[in-house]
Structure 1
Amino acid sequence: MDKEPKYAIIDCRVSDPQQLKGGSLQDQEAIGRITAERLNATVLKVFRKPHSATTSEREDFQEILDFIKTSKKTISYYIVKSIDRLTRVGYPEYLRLKTELGKLGVSVIDSYGVIQPTKNTLEHLGVSYKWSNHSPSEAGEMLEAYKGKVEVRDILTRLIGAEVRLTQEGFSVRRAPDGLRNKSVMVDGKKKIIREADPERVHYFQKMFELLAEGNGFPKTVEILNAMGFRTQEQKQWDRTDKEHPKVTGRTHHCPIKLQLFDGIVSVDTFNRANGGKIFIQINSENKIEILHDYSSWNKAKRLKDNPKYPWKVIRCPYCNQEMLASASSGKLGKHDGYHCGIKTNTKRAHKYFRVKQKDFEENVNRYFENLKFQEAFMKGLELHLIDEYRAKEKEIVIESSAISRSVSELKAEQAKKLDDFGQAESVITKRMIEKQIESLDEQIKQAESTRNGIEINEKSIKSFIHYAKHVMEHPTEILTTAEDLNARRAIMSLFFEEMPTYHQILNGTPKLQPLFRLSEEFKQSERPLVTLRGVEPRFKP
């Protein structure tokens, strides 16, 4: 009578898709088939997968279990080249995977012969217990499983350790980010990689930081960069649904680090101003870099309920530096509106209660803003200064405008080509597709032209700005109180102050003003007479 046929599966594994290019999988399969012949087993399926054995979450192993469960033929053997091809996590994970296969009646076989069949120590008595069935090679299997884990640790220690050491020395170990590029240099006879500015793309990132540092928002910055012709870098787009044969289907497109022989594309000051304190680089006396988060008080503002009845909640509490609260309290004489803060446990407002009547609070704030008005002589001097600054930056403006003009020309050339394609297309579907592309290009052209018109300033623009500045300074309280919401008031207040002032600073006249207003105050003080007429009070003490 013929013996019942035996069936086996072979599992071939490499750690990542790059290793698929080598011959490792073919070698593992060939060794597995020789092992199957030795067992007189027929190979039903060969699994070839790129998957790291250093993790316990192996999707490919679940696929193998599902195949065994649904197979119409009973599978007896699961063949691997060696135990470390099954797992490199260690013995507990190896035992778990082996047990999962054992529940399905499948024995794990390695080509090196380390794993031996299970033996029953009570076989001579004709009985069997769970504890009497054991693997005589258990110690050897345990050793091999741990050797795999140790080997992983040794490999990663050498690889990652070398990368960390190079990084600490200021060299690059990975692909350069957009705006930079890697450059090979010889250091002590060894080839190493440093970073340098990419001459074809770095100007986009320099301009980005400059725009943000000047106070432009992200939407405006993006608009200008796109108008200048910025496009994301192309990258390979992969289809990894077939893990064995991943393929390229197309192309797509925090902590600062010291770089060897490279000073960066922008200064630390520009970086800090561009990020507005969200991420702040601080260099101490030992020339070491410290990264601070939420450094600027402007970034600590939280969204508060916006009630137009209380427009000055943007002013900060003198005790906790949080934005003031405002409400109407009820008493015997009716409701009393006021600005207040304090007596909230387990919060940043945990301090004594502070309250000011709304009328007094707003009168003091309005009085301070009224005193901030520019004098006519100062405005004339400011206009001359701005024109001088414009002359200094005129070349930069022309270069930026020219870059946008070139981008517009390229877009129009591409649009003209699409129009030719549209005329030659016969398919309705193709015409619709080209028509959408033409519309998209037309929108890009209009956007770029609009941005170019926005940056092309002249002396007339400066005079218009001076006129607007006069309007703002003649009616500061009106503009602030009629702003749409708290965020708009915060933005307008940032024109006046470097840091949002507290109520006591308003009372004492000591807020940290923006440079322009500091100059105005100094201008006023320089014009005050140092000699007074006799009989006119107050008089200066000798």
Structure 2
Amino acid sequence: MEYKPHIQNAVAAIRVSTTKQGTQGDSPEAQKEQIERYAQTRGIKIKKLFLFLESASKEQQPMQEAIDYCKKPKHKIDLFIVKSIDRFTRGGSYSYSQLKMQLDNANVHLTDIHGIIGAQKVNTLEHLGISYKWSEYDPTKNSEILEAERASDEKRDIMTRMIGAQIRYARLGYWVRSAPLGYVNVRVETINGIRSVLEPHPKTSQWIIKMFELRCRGTLDDHAIVQEINKLGFRTPANFMRNKQDRTRIVSKRGGAPLSLKTLHSYLRNPAYAGINTERWLMGEAVRCKFDGLVSIDVFNKANRGRVTIIENGDEVRVEETKMMTRVVKAKFNPMYPYKKVVACPYCGLTLSGSASRGRGGSTYPAYHCCGRLGKQDPMHHYFRERKEQFDATIEGFIKLIRIKPEYEKALIDTVIKLRDKRIAESQRDQKVVSLKLGELKMQAEMVAEKIKFLSSEVTVKYLEEDLMRIETQMNNLGSAQTECDAEVDHTRMTIIRASKKLIERPDMLILHQADPVQQANFFGLLFDRIPKYSDLVAALDDQTIDIGLNELFTLRKS
């Protein structure tokens, strides 16, 4: 009968500290090659190989999954092979002892290819033929413990050097983290060596700049800004979620979504877009970065409207944040009563309120009103009420009297031309962004269509067809946005001048033809240096010479 030697079954474990190491391929392949050569020369069969792409210094040890596999009797594992103890764990002697004890209880021997972990056990009572648990020990245990502690110390030294350097460079104004949307990390030569700074991304930076521009312009609310940015093809950055045990395996994808109101606010409040770093390593301080922001500090402050403010004091900067009110605030502007905050009470000078009383028959009577005290001089209540129809008629009659003083006409036309040139430049920039996104989507559509030709699985084809439809929808939306950009640019200089002169001659048309009553009231408020009293507006209909606080640009024509 031929003798067949027992072949030992083994589990091999490979670990690298970062996903980057594992995906770019330097350490894992080398470890695998060395372990396979070790097993081949000793007649060991590697039954399963585990690859871990995460640090072994964490409380939850990555090797636990492989150990649990060895503990199951059905797998019949004899050996657990690693390259070295520091590849097994960097948690120190305690973690090493705990993990190895689990293998020992499962009769699985831990071994490394460097030979630090011994295969022999010594029984101090062997000469008497007696064995106890306490009498058996590993002669290499002390050296294994020392090696495990050395691995832990090495981890601490590496992290101290790496994190310490990043903290120091962050405080010097360099960028040490992944680039936020709109930027790309670039390595440049500096007086502190080759360091990372941020530079504008050729495509996504235009989205961020557009957000700040629209916020500063003040003509659109945040919901409208979100719609405008999405028309330019905005999508949040895509992130791949990996399996916790096998970091090489992608389990899901996040991102790629259109802009939302919450995401808009997070971008607008990020001081990095103004070239200011406030990350946690700065201990609450703000540092001016070694690169220019996508927008200036003035634009950043204007866009945030006091919620986040960057304050400059020479070379020093600080960032102040104002917390938002958590309670629900009653709407300040009601479209039915748009003038209630821009016209004052004739008695007390406070802004009017608007509401509708209900009669006995159920009919409502909308009106502007005020009810308050004049102060210590008159402790009696005063009451003012004007029907909405009469109030609106008075406002409309007053607006029709408004004219712009002739000496300001040329300056206003020049300002309009400058704004028109600025808008054209913005539209041309938006067209470039849309064109780039369209080209990218066309390429994606061609790739998906090409894949469908070679697939036979109905399920896979269905998913790809859904992706193709989604891409076509995005392309159609971008095509519409591109048409709108073309329409904005398609106005000659003379057309703008003629339209400006017409509005300067009749500024009342600009106010009264506003579709949004709240916007109409906002324009009305810009006519004055102080909030006008309703009684003064009524009086001005008959006497245009009285002082009602008009801005110096405007005057009243004779009725």
> TM-score normalised to the size of structure 1?
0.61
Q: What's 1:292 paired with?
A: 320
Q: What's 1:442 paired with?
A: 476
- The structure 1 residue matched to 2:529, chosen from 505, 518, 537, is 518
C-alpha distance in structure 2 between counterparts of 1:68 and 1:26, whole Å? 26
1:66 aligns with 2:69: yes
CA contact (8 A) 1:53 1:86 kept: yes
1:110 aligns with 2:138: no
CA contact (8 A) 1:236 1:248 kept: no
C-alpha distance in structure 2 between counterparts of 1:231 and 1:223, whole Å? 10
Q: 1:151 to 1:406 in 2, by over 3 A?
A: closer
Superposed displacement of residue 211, structure 1: 0.7
1:276 aligns with 2:298: no
C-alpha distance in structure 1 between counterparts of 2:474 and 2:25, whole Å? 45
Q: 1:77 to 1:172 in 2, by over 3 A?
A: same
C-alpha distance in structure 2 between counterparts of 1:146 and 1:470, whole Å? 80
Q: Deviations over 1:258-297 (max 9, x none)?
A: 56553322122211222233433233x35422222225xx
C-alpha distance in structure 2 between counterparts of 1:414 and 1:82, whole Å? 46
Superposed displacement of residue 393, structure 1: 0.6
- The structure 2 residue matched to 1:392, chosen from 398, 401, 418, is 418
Superposed displacement of residue 151, structure 1: 0.7
Q: What's 2:259 paired with?
A: none
Give the residue type in structure 2 aligned to 1:290: R
C-alpha distance in structure 2 between counterparts of 1:242 and 1:70, whole Å? 22
C-alpha distance in structure 2 between counterparts of 1:130 and 1:282, whole Å? 70
CA contact (8 A) 1:294 1:300 kept: no
Give the residue type in structure 2 aligned to 1:303: V
Superposed displacement of residue 193, structure 1: 3.9
Q: What's 1:172 paired with?
A: 175
Identity of aligned residues (%): 25
C-alpha distance in structure 2 between counterparts of 1:437 and 1:27, whole Å? 42
Partner of 1:300, secondary structure, is: coil
Superposed displacement of residue 121, structure 1: 5.0
Cα RMSD, aligned residues only: 6.0
Q: Deviations over 1:57-105 (max 9, x none)?
A: 34553145225516443x2221222211111122222222112222322
1:101 aligns with 2:125: no
Question: Within 5 Å, which residues of 2 pair with 1:288-327?
Answer: 288-294=316-322, 299-300=324-325, 302-303=327-328
Superposed displacement of residue 185, structure 1: 4.2
Q: What's 2:93 paired with?
A: 91
Question: Within 5 Å, which residues of 2 pair with 1:149-168?
Answer: 149-168=152-171
1:7 aligns with 2:9: yes
Partner of 1:146, secondary structure, is: helix
Unaligned runs of 5+ in 1: 316-338, 340-358, 481-490, 497-512, 530-542
Q: 1:119 to 1:469 in 2, by over 3 A?
A: farther
Q: 1:96 to 1:396 in 2, by over 3 A?
A: same
Q: 1:62 to 1:372 in 2, by over 3 A?
A: farther
- The structure 2 residue matched to 1:206, chosen from 199, 204, 209, is 209
Give the residue type in structure 1 aligned to 2:151: G
Superposed displacement of residue 106, structure 1: 1.4
Superposed displacement of residue 219, structure 1: 3.3
CA contact (8 A) 1:237 1:249 kept: yes
- The structure 2 residue matched to 1:50, chosen from 45, 49, 53, is 53
C-alpha distance in structure 2 between counterparts of 1:431 and 1:185, whole Å? 44
1:219 aligns with 2:223: yes
- The structure 2 residue matched to 1:262, chosen from 280, 291, 299, is 291
C-alpha distance in structure 2 between counterparts of 1:519 and 1:456, whole Å? 39
C-alpha distance in structure 1 between counterparts of 2:327 and 2:316, whole Å? 32
Q: 1:281 to 1:36 in 2, by over 3 A?
A: same
Q: What's 2:267 paired with?
A: none
Partner of 1:399, secondary structure, is: helix
Superposed displacement of residue 126, structure 1: 6.0
> TM-score normalised to the size of structure 2?
0.59
Question: Within 5 Å, which residues of 2 pair with 1:121-160?
Answer: 131-160=134-163
Q: 1:389 to 1:82 in 2, by over 3 A?
A: same
Superposed displacement of residue 395, structure 1: 0.7
May I ask how many residue pairs the two structures share in their alignment? 449
